[in-house]
């Protein structure tokens, strides 16, 4: 399992559990991601279904949001998009329903499946749960009637202050129309204007010592302020948008791109590469040469007109490139930046701790770890996993069949695989890792160092012995023991465990092939 709870932020957002094949098993939302995700692995009283889920979890993908409201709607979008096995999947017939304001003398607010009949329609609302909440909130806040026919006397809703009772003229037509006007502003999203108007009215009522009405207005302001927490991942759009932001640090570019389809977050993609002049232009050309071009591209900075023409040609329709300075789209860019900080740099403290405790000259930005797996001396294999910036980089995982060793000999097996790996990198003039970790004790470490000496490669190498979690260094008589709570040891354990998992899976695969061949 590749989940380090200590690196998960306390922000609100969504989490997507994945299995070893990178398939999403479950999507959930949380007010505090760290507390929610950790509860799956600390709680021993899980129901049977959740226990099965936890056994299959290999990694987690995080989506950071600004508010709990956003995470609720984003969760719905991700479930609809990926159909995770362990989520409750409902055929939601009201997914794209509207809120209808009727054309009656005393208008009502209704749920409408389609735009049929007279009145004003707001939506469509992608999240049925959020839409129902908004409908109920506005009805209660502005005391709008719900009865199909006006009764001859006020009903229970009036007595519990949920309706202003226009049926018996307790509220005047003008006063009721004003409440409808406020409701329309709220549904249109013009909440700032509405709050300003309500605050003026509240002050007037307070000055006249009409405190009961002033309190009612204050409650309306609080309700409208909730609505002002607009969902940034789901907006009423009929076209596609991509939102892109990046950070440059230590000669590397860290970039995240959100694909939004008709207001619904469809995908989050992360990219990391060396900094070069005009990197943004090169990225846009390369990415949109292979992917669909949206109608609108939201960027943190302007691009050349020729590049916009390129995008237009790719799409075969006009493309709008927006560089927002204020407003909702600017907030979207900030949200992408927050995801960059969490996705790429949440492990910086662990890497710094590891560098200091191992006394490394450079930050262990790229770590490679080796493990050996066999069954009674057969199908001996090795795994090599790579962690980049404290996160698994599965595109650079490698697995090896041991060629030169007969029987069970972990020392010689480690020697062979280390020699093969770094002789190949040396021959290709490729970049070496900042740290090599060997799963085992002093003997495995000695074998790895012999292999490097034979091919004339110098690298920082340690071994991690599982029994007491002792760290061995070349030339050192005594191992280093770190407190189990240290970030450095937790990172090393995560890397070692991943190498072990990857090796065992390869060993099992080979055994299955052997059994299949025997049966044939």
pTM metric for this prediction: 0.50
CB-CB contact of 164 with 175 (8 Å): yes
Query: What does the alpha-carbon distance between residue 398 and residue 298 come to, in Å, rounded to a whole number?
Result: 38
- Helix/strand/coil for 72: helix
Query: What does the alpha-carbon distance between residue 182 and residue 452 come to, in Å, rounded to a whole number?
Result: 74
CB-CB contact of 234 with 74 (8 Å): yes
Query: What does the alpha-carbon distance between residue 193 and residue 215 come to, in Å, rounded to a whole number?
Result: 19
CA distances from 13 to 1, 9, 126, 324 (A): 21, 10, 18, 24
If you write DSSP's letter for every residue of 262-299 in order, what string do you get?
Answer: TTEEEEEEEEEEE--TTHHHHHHHHHHHHSPPPSEEE-
CA distances from 215 to 92, 173, 201, 204, 477 (A): 38, 22, 11, 12, 75
H or E stretch covering 24 = strand 24-30
Query: What does the alpha-carbon distance between residue 404 and residue 382 come to, in Å, rounded to a whole number?
Result: 13
Tell me if the bond preceding 145 is cis, omega within 30° of 0. Answer: no
CB-CB contact of 50 with 90 (8 Å): no
pLDDT computed for residue 158 by the predictor = 79
Query: Among candidates 93, 70, 111, which has minimal Cα distance to 229?
Result: 70
What does the pLDDT look like over 383-427, one tens digit per residue? 999 998 888 888 899 999 888 888 788 899 999 999 999 999 999
> In the block, which residue shows the tokens 């209808």?
100
Query: How many other CB atoms are there within 10 angstroms of residue 458's CB atom?
Result: 9
Domains with residue ranges and CATH for the chain: 5-82 (3.40.1440.10), 98-227 (no CATH), 240-345 (3.30.420.340), 351-519 (3.30.420.340)
CB-CB contact of 495 with 371 (8 Å): no
pLDDT computed for residue 209 by the predictor = 78
CA distances from 26 to 74, 86, 313 (A): 13, 5, 39
What does the pLDDT look like over 34-52, one tens digit per residue? 999 999 988 877 878 788 8
pLDDT computed for residue 85 by the predictor = 84
Where residue 143 falls (left for φ over 0; alpha for ψ -120 to 50; beta otherwise) is left
- C-alpha triplet 425, 426, 431: angle, nearest 5°: 55
CB-CB contact of 275 with 289 (8 Å): no
pLDDT computed for residue 480 by the predictor = 94
Q: Which two tokens stand for residue 145?
A: 């009637």
pLDDT < 70 stretches in the chain:
1-2, 69, 73, 88-96, 124-130, 189-194, 213, 216-217, 220, 222-239, 262-266, 375-378, 512-520
Torsion, Cα 418 420 425 427, to 10 degrees, reads 140
pLDDT computed for residue 513 by the predictor = 66
Query: Among candidates 233, 258, 235, 260, which has minimal Cα distance to 245?
Result: 258
């Amino acid at each position: 399992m590749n989940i380090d709870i200590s690196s998960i932020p306390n922000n609100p957002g969504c989490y997507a559990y994945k299995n070893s094949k990178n398939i999403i098993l479950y999507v959930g939302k949380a007010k505090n991601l760290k507390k929610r995700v950790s509860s799956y692995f600390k709680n021993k009283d899980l129901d049977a279904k959740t226990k099965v889920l936890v056994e299959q979890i290999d990694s987690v993908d995080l989506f950071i949001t600004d508010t709990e409201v956003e995470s609720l709607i984003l969760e719905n979008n991700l479930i609809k998009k990926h159909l995770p096995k362990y989520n409750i999947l409902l055929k939601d017939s009201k997914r794209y329903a509207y809120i209808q304001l009727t054309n009656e003398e005393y208008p009502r607010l209704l749920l409408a499946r389609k735009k049929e009949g007279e009145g004003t329609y707001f939506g469509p609302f992608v999240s049925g749960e959020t839409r129902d909440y908004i409908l109920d909130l506005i009805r209660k806040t502005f005391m709008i009637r719900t009865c199909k026919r006006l009764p001859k006397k006020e009903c229970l809703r009036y007595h519990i202050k949920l309706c202003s009772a226009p049926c018996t003229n307790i509220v005047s037509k003008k006063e009721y129309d004003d409440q409808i006007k406020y409701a329309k502003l709220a549904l249109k999203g013009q909440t700032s204007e509405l709050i300003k108007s309500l605050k003026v009215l509240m002050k007037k009522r307070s000055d006249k010592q009409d405190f009961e009405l002033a309190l009612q207005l204050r409650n309306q302001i609080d309700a409208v302020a909730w609505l002002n927490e607009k969902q940034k991942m789901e907006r009423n759009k009929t076209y596609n948008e991509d939102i892109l932001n990046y950070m440059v640090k230590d000669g590397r570019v860290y970039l995240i791109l959100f694909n939004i389809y008709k207001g619904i977050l469809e995908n989050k993609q992360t990219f990391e590469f060396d900094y070069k002049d005009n990197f943004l232009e090169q990225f846009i050309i390369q990415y949109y040469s292979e992917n669909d071009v949206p109608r609108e591209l939201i960027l943190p900075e302007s691009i050349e007109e020729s590049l916009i023409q390129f995008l237009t040609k790719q799409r075969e329709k006009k493309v709008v490139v927006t560089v927002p300075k204020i407003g909702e789209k600017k907030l979207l860019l900030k949200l992408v930046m927050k995801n960059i900080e969490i996705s790429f740099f949440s492990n910086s403290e662990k890497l710094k701790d590891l560098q200091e405790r191992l006394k490394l000259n450079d930050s262990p930005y790229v770590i490679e770890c080796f493990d050996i797996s066999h069954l009674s001396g057969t199908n001996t294999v090795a795994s090599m996993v790579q962690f980049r910036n404290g996160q698994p980089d599965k595109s650079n995982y490698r697995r090896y069949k041991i060629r030169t060793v007969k029987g069970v000999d972990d020392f010689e097996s480690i020697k062979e695989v280390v020699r093969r790996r770094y002789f190949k990198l040396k021959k290709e003039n490729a970049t070496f890792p900042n740290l090599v970790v060997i799963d085992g004790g002093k003997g495995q470490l000695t074998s790895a160092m012999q292999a490097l000496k034979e091919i004339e490669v110098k690298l920082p190498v340690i071994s991690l012995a599982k029994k007491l979690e002792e760290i061995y260094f070349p030339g050192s008589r005594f191992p280093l023991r770190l407190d189990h709570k240290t970030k450095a040891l937790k990172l090393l354990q995560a890397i070692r465990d991943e190498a072990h998992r990857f090796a065992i899976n390869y060993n099992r695969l080979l055994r299955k092939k052997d059994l299949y061949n025997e049966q044939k």
